[in-house]
């Protein structure tokens, strides 16, 4: 009898262990970011938050360095439920719902603090509503960083930029923006930027410090004009199919984990990393050219027709998104 009691107890323990293992849901998270970067740290912090909020029921399994594929490919897989989560640029989100690209329209904001306020308080519900029918649940805002003008010369005014060949990733916003500046946009992938600058195919390659320094591009185009032509919002995303299969309890846990991430806190981490890279560039003999308020104003004076053109591209959807942005700007300090 004692034997059978012992066997029953062992069986109960084993069943409990199996049940516990089955209760843990693994969520694969795709990202292009290396682990030893601010984005990698944010991914790991999200994983900890999700485990904590779900009391261990949910486990994020990160795949860094584009291990699961390119950004656009992995977001498409996520929309179909083949990948559970990811960290993506808003540009990738615009592949699913094109109008959300307006949320990163160049030159709209007076400051990054203003952008953080508008994103969190005016655009979150809108981007979530537009991506959800496409199979993508928007979790929270993330950040790519600030875009500057990299070249072999200072570019401190639209007059300096006029006629120059600018390397771009091709999309409507990029092409229209540089045409508005009377520059000549040239399609160039990030991997081709160094050779394009070396051969004179392009004169300027606008990008972020987090690509400029690690790629070695700063050795070929050593002059950075700090006209902040673009800001790069990004997003944490979950497959809507995966979200819908979760219990209400697990959905709530995931949402609480996302709530720990605000635009301002995420931006501050990324910008601090940019400052480290900027100093590395200066210490290595590179040039950083500041721009005055008047010079910034000369660039921005050319932008209203560009904003209007991009808004019109998306009809009523564009008008609605731009109204949200303008309402937000009116209520968020510069």
Kindly report the CATH number assigned to the domain that includes residue 265. Answer: 3.40.190.170
Let me know if residue 7 belongs to a domain: no
Count CB neighbours of 143 within 10 A: 28
Confidence of residue 235 (pLDDT cuts 50, 70, 90): very high
Give the chain's count of helices (H) and strands (E).
Answer: 16, 9
CB 270 within 8 A of CB 145: yes
Rounded Cα gap, residues 86 and 263, in angstroms: 17
Residues 6 or more apart whose CB falls under 8 angstroms from that of 65 comprise 32, 33, 34, 35
pLDDT of residue 74: 97
* Among 35, 135, 39, 34, CA closest to 82: 135
67 φ/ψ angles, rounded to the nearest 5 degrees: -60, -30
Confidence of residue 23 (pLDDT cuts 50, 70, 90): low
Q: Is the dihedral of CA 218, 220, 224, 229 positive or negative?
A: negative
E runs forming strands in 11-66: 25-30, 58-63
Let me know if residue 49 belongs to a domain: yes
Query: pLDDT digit string (tens) for 268-304?
Result: 999 999 999 999 999 999 999 999 999 999 999 999 9
- Cα-based distances in Å from 2 to 5, 9, 112, 287: 5, 11, 70, 81
pLDDT of residue 231: 87
Query: pLDDT digit string (tens) for 139-195?
Result: 999 999 999 999 999 999 999 999 999 999 888 899 999 999 999 999 999 999 999
Let me know if residue 219 belongs to a domain: yes
Does residue 25 carry a pLDDT above 50?
Answer: yes
Query: What is the average per-residue pLDDT within 246-274?
Result: 97
Rounded Cα gap, residues 124 and 255, in angstroms: 13
pLDDT of residue 92: 93
Q: CA 38: distance to chain centroid?
A: 12
Let me know if residue 13 belongs to a domain: no
Let me know if residue 50 belongs to a domain: yes
pLDDT of residue 170: 83
Does residue 215 carry a pLDDT above 50?
Answer: yes
Number of domains present in the structure of the chain:
1
Q: Is 45 exposed, middle or buried (0-12, 13-18, 19+ CB in 10 A)?
A: middle
E runs forming strands in the chain: 25-30, 58-63, 85-89, 136-151, 165-168, 184-187, 204-207, 223-239, 287-289
Does residue 9 carry a pLDDT above 60?
Answer: no
Residues 6 or more apart whose CB falls under 8 angstroms from that of 1 comprise none
Rounded Cα gap, residues 174 and 31, in angstroms: 23
What is the token pair recorded at 33?
Answer: 């970011």
Count CB neighbours of 185 within 10 A: 19
Let me know if residue 144 belongs to a domain: yes
Residues 6 or more apart whose CB falls under 8 angstroms from that of 135 comprise 78, 79, 80, 81, 96, 239, 240, 241
Query: What is the average per-residue pLDDT within 204-214?
Result: 96
For 275-294, letters b (16+ CB in 10 Å) and e give: eebbeebeeeebeebebeee
Does residue 210 carry a pLDDT above 60?
Answer: yes
* Among 188, 171, 287, 187, CA closest to 230: 171
Let me know if residue 258 belongs to a domain: yes
pLDDT of residue 99: 95
Does residue 1 carry a pLDDT above 90?
Answer: no
What is the token pair recorded at 236?
Answer: 């944490």
Query: What is the average per-residue pLDDT within 248-264?
Result: 97
CB 210 within 8 A of CB 174: no
Does residue 326 carry a pLDDT above 80?
Answer: yes
Query: What is the average per-residue pLDDT within 187-215?
Result: 95
Percent of the chain's residues with pLDDT above 70: 93
**Crossing angle of helices 315-331 and 124-131, rounded to 10°:** 160
Provide the residue range defining the domain that includes 126. Answer: 18-331
135 φ/ψ angles, rounded to the nearest 5 degrees: 95, 10
What integer best gives the mean pLDDT of the chain? 92
Let me know if residue 6 belongs to a domain: no
């Amino acid at each position: 009898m004692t034997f059978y009691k012992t066997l029953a107890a062992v069986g109960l323990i084993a069943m409990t262990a199996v049940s516990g293992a089955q209760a843990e849901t693994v969520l694969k998270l795709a990202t292009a970011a290396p682990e030893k970067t601010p984005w990698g740290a944010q991914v790991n912090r999200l994983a900890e938050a999700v485990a904590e909020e779900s009391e261990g029921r949910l486990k994020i399994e990160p795949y860094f360095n584009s291990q699961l594929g390119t950004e656009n490919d992995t977001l498409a897989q996520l929309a179909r439920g083949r990948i559970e989560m990811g960290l993506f640029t808003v540009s990738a989100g615009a592949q699913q719902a094109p109008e959300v690209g307006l949320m990163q329209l160049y030159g709209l904001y007076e400051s990054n603090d203003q952008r953080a306020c508008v994103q969190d308080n005016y655009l979150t519900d809108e981007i979530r509503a537009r991506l959800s029918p496409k199979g993508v649940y928007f979790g929270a805002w993330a950040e790519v960083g600030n875009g500057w003008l990299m070249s072999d010369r200072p570019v401190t005014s639209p007059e300096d930029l006029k006629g120059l060949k600018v390397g771009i990733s091709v999309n409507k916003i990029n092409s229209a923006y540089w045409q508005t500046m009377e520059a000549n946009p040239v399609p160039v992938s990030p991997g081709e930027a160094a050779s394009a600058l070396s051969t004179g195919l392009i004169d300027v390659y606008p990008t972020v410090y987090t690509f400029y320094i690690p790629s070695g591009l700063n050795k070929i185009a050593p002059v950075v004009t700090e006209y902040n032509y673009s800001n790069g919002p990004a997003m944490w995303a979950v497959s809507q199919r995966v979200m819908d299969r979760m219990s209400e309890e697990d959905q709530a846990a995931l949402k609480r984990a996302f709530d720990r991430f605000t635009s301002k806190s995420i931006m501050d981490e990324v910008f601090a990393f940019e400052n480290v890279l900027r100093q590395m560039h200066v210490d290595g003999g590179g040039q950083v050219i500041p721009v005055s308020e008047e010079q910034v104003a000369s660039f921005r004076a050319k932008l209203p027709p560009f904003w209007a053109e991009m808004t019109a591209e998306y009809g009523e959807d564009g008008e609605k998104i731009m109204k949200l942005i303008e309402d937000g700007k009116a209520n968020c300090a510069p």
